[in-house]
A and B are shown apart, each in its own frame.
Chain A
Amino acid sequence: MAMVDQAPLLQVENLSFRYRDRPDYAIREITFNIKPGEVLLLAGPSGCGKTTLARCINGLIPRSYKGEMSGRVLLRGQDTAGMSLAQISQNVGTVLQDPERQILGTKVINEVAFGLENLGLPREEILARADAAMEHLGISGLHDRDTFNLSGGEKQKVALAGVLAMEPGLLLLDEPLASLDPASGLEALALIRNLADDGMAILIIEHRVEDVLKVSPDWGLFMMGGEIQYDGSAAGLAEAVDYREVKLPAQIVLERAAVDPSPVRLEPLLGKAKADSEPLVQFDHVSFSYEQGSEVLHDISLAINPGDVIAILGPNGAGKTTLVKQAIGLLKPKSGEVLVGGRDTHDLSVAEIASTLGYVFQSPSHMLFAPSVSAELAFGPNNLGHPPEEIKKEVQEAIDIMNLSGMEEDPPLALSFGQQKRVSIGAVLAMRSKILVMDEPTAGQDYKNYMDFMDSILLLPSFDAILFITHDIDLAVVYANRVIVIDHGRVVGDGRPQDVLSDYEILESSRLVPTSLLDVNLEMFDRTQCFMRAEALAHFPSNI
Chain B
Amino acid sequence: MLVSWRYRERKSLIQAFDPSAWIIFYACFIVSTMFFWDLRVLFFFLAIALVVIFTSGIKWREMYRAWLFICGFVVFFSLLTFLTGRGGMEVYEQEHTITTLRAPFTLFKWQPTLDITVERALFALSQLVRVFSLASMTILIPYSINPAHYGITFHRLGLPDKIAYAMDLTMRFIPTFGRDFRLTMDAQRARGYEIEKLSGGIISQVRKLAPLIVPVTIHAIAGSEDIIDAMDLRGFGIGRRTWLVQLQYRMRDYVLMGLAALILIGSVIASMFGFGKFWVPEFLLHMVGG
Contacts and interface: CB of A to CB of B under 8 A. Distances in A.
A384 B190 CA distance: 11
B244 A162 contact: no
B40 to A, nearest CB: 41
Given A96-B230, A351-B193, A383-B192, A118 B2 contact: no
Interface string A84-112: 11100110001010001111111101100
B242 A116 contact: yes
A185 interface: no
B234 A365 contact: no
A148 B148 CA distance: 12
A422 to B, nearest CB: 16
Contact of A431 (B184, B192, B214): B192
Contacts of A120: 239-242
Interface string B223-245: 10011111111111111111111
A106 B4 contact: yes
B187 interface: yes
Chain B facing A: main interface SS: helix
B188 to A, nearest CB: 6
B211 interface: yes
Contact of B192 (A114, A148, A384): A384
A330 interface: yes
B109 interface: no
Nearest to B216: A366
A431 B3 CA distance: 33
Interface stretch (A30-38, A122-130, A392-400): A122-130
Contacts of A366: 180, 183-184, 187, 215, 219
Interface in B185-220: 186-194, 210-215, 218-219
B215 A106 contact: no
Contacts of B272: none
Contacts of A122: 242
Contacts of A380: 191-192
B interface bracket (residues with beta carbon within 8 Å of A) = 35 or more
Interface string A45-87: 0000000000000111001100000000000000000001110
Nearest to A325: B186
Given A101-B1, A351-B193, A64 B234 contact: no
A101 B148 contact: no
Interface in A421-471: 427-428, 431
A501 to B, nearest CB: 29
A349 interface: yes
A64 to B, nearest CB: 6
B4 to A, nearest CB: 6
B234 A162 contact: yes
Contacts of B187: 361, 366-367
A354 B189 contact: yes
A492 interface: no
Nearest to B3: A148
B186 A123 contact: no
Contacts of B229: 60, 64, 96
Interface string B1-32: 11110100000000000000000000000000
Contacts of A60: 229, 232-233
Given A110-B244, A119-B235, A166-B234, A368 B191 contact: no
Nearest to A65: B229
16 contacts: A64-B229, A85-B232, A85-B238, A89-B235, A96-B226, A103-B1, A118-B234, A119-B235, A120-B242, A123-B244, A351-B194, A363-B183, A365-B218, A367-B211, A368-B218, A384-B192
Interface of B: 1-4, 6, 62, 147-148, 150, 169, 172, 180, 183-184, 186-194, 210-215, 218-219, 222-223, 226-246
Q: Give 10 nearest A-B pairs by CB, closest first.
A: A383-B192, A369-B214, A115-B234, A86-B235, A86-B238, A367-B187, A100-B1, A380-B191, A101-B226, A350-B189
